[in-house]
Amino acid sequence: MKREIRVFAPATVANVACGFDILGFAIDQPGDEVIVRLIDKPGVYIVKISGDQGRLPLAAEKNTVSVSILALLKHLKSNQGFEIELMKRMPLGSGLGSSAASTVAGVFAANILLGNPLAKEELLPFATEGERIACGSAHADNAAPALLGGFVLIRSYQPLDVIQIATPKDLYCTVLHPQIEIRTEDARKILKKSILIKDAITQWGNIAGLIAGLMKSDYDLIRRSLQDVIIEPIRSILIPGFHEVKQAALASGALGCSISGSGPSLFALSSTREVASKAGDAMQAVMNSLNIASEIYISKINPVGPRILEN
Ligand code: HSE
């Protein structure tokens, strides 16, 4: 049996415009990596973190990766000890599910080293525990797609009820990551506690329309449904050039464009790679004009989630 394993887990786009806290999908790049190894004494130890500029805690009860592995061990009533090395390959506070990627990679790796006592989908509650540590809320719309791959609907939180949604064969995501940081915790604090029923009706229609559009491969329905009248108007204030970037993506032919998770990244969906790439160039040109450095990632929806890497 293996004593050490290296796992990659992908970045994710949460909310997907209209589905605050209930929709998310995985992309191919970027993502985080962990090395998890069995040790002969009990306890979970983070021995090394790279790529975080020294910002993430090493203490087991504070780090999202170890917290979720500790929760898994508690559930299994196991005393097995682990050492963890975490390689952050994506920026913190990017709106790309950075903490979920690390957490999912860790809990997925630990479960394999323990001999797969739980099925992949059963690991979700432990990964969402990590999210609670990261930003104070156990939202699952990054962790679920990072773990399961694909496009995911969180139909219910209590109990967790997660549905994988079929997507068109040709659906491309463009992510623009401006090199500024927004903490999810802060981006949640500025949201209103209540909403107008008329806005809720618009949002419900769009969520249902988006799901139906994805399942029917109806691009025009997807385009009509990628609208957020509740969260985007508030959070867009935090992102310089937001409206110009969105306009640039739509003018390039993207089906829609909105904030990825809690930002500052923006995502656009397109029906061809050419449009996704053209939208990326146009979105980045806006950031360049504002003198804000940025990265572009283009990928299809990642159907796999975490994967084992050869050492
Ligand atoms: N649904 C969460 C939020 C995702 O928007 O706050 C955070 O990445």
pLDDT in tens, 97-111: 999 999 999 999 999
How many C-beta atoms surround the C-beta of residue 25 within 10 A? 28
d(CA 89, CA 247): 29
Q: Which two tokens stand for residue 306?
A: 């975490």
Q: Which atom of ligand 1 is nearest to the CA of 188?
A: 6
Nearest CA to ligand 1 atom 4: 261
> What residue ranges of the chain are covered by domains with CATH 3.30.70.890?
172-300
d(CA 29, CA 12): 9
311 confidence band (pLDDT: 50, 70, 90): low
pLDDT in tens, 22-68: 999 999 999 999 999 999 999 999 999 999 888 899 988 999 999 99
The whole-model pTM stands at: 0.96
Ligand 1 close to Cβ of residue 14 (< 6 A): yes
d(CA 209, CA 252): 23
The pLDDT of residue 129 is 86
pLDDT in tens, 189-246: 999 999 999 999 999 999 999 999 999 999 999 999 999 999 999 999 999 999 999 9
Mean pLDDT over the full length of the chain: 96
Q: What is the mean pLDDT of residues 167-187?
A: 95
> What residue ranges of the chain are covered by domains with CATH 3.30.230.10?
4-165
d(CA 150, CA 116): 22
**Where does 183-272 have alpha helices with state H?**
184-189, 197-216, 219-225, 232-235, 242-251
d(CA 131, CA 142): 9
Fold of 172-300: Alpha-Beta Plaits (3.30.70)
Residue 136's alpha-carbon distances to 54, 62, 88, 106, 133, in angstroms, are: 21, 12, 21, 20, 6
Residue 1 has pLDDT above 90, yes or no: no
Was domain 4-165 assigned CATH 3.40.50.970?
Answer: no
Nearest CA to ligand 1 atom 6: 262
